[in-house]
Amino acid sequence: MIGVLRGLVQTWKTHWRKRVTVQYPDERLPLQPRYMGFPGLMWDAEHDEPFCTGCQVCMRHCPTQCMTVTMMDNPKFADGTSKRRKIIDYFSINQSRCIACSICVEVCNFEAIEMTHIFEKANYYPDVVVDLPDLLQMSADHRAHKDTMPSRETRDQL
């Protein structure tokens, strides 16, 4: 009988606590500033081209081999409007294989890849391959909504 009363007292105390569970599709918790979702590609607005040169360093260092990168000669380099001799021709990430480890961001010499806050890519198809235009759009959307993301210099100091 005493055990039942202790259980009721504990239930009564717990009833008045703040709720922990969030009803996910309807309610969302705010993401932390340093949250890392899927990678996205950065766009160089000054030269109107991606920062990525297609050097394939990210592809070689990826532990899951989820990236495909090819490069081509940059036509803007011949015109003298760009400093990049090579530029990406094709870039894709298979997000069903990506583990969001951010190794690609760390090894990129041109700071062309960043981790976005996008994490909701669930669907019914086994292979979710995101191509170049979608990767650029993901990064642009992320940059438009980010407020407190630390710069690369700040991250290196931490």
23 lies in some domain? no
Q: 89-103: per-residue pLDDT in tens? A: 999 999 889 999 999
pLDDT, position 148? 44
85 lies in some domain? yes
pLDDT, position 106? 95
What's the number of domains the chain is made of? 1
What residues make up the domain containing 121? Answer: 36-146
CB 116, CB 142: distance < 8 Å: yes
CB 19, CB 27: distance < 8 Å: no
107 lies in some domain? yes
Distance CA 38, CA 120 (A): 9
Q: Where are the beta strands (DSSP E) in the chain?
A: 39-41, 43-44, 49-50, 67-73, 86-94, 113-115, 129-130
Say if pTM beats, i.e. exceeds, 0.75.
no
24 lies in some domain? no
CATH of the domain at 111: 3.30.70.3270
The lowest-confidence range among 16-30, 74-88, 113-127 is: 113-127
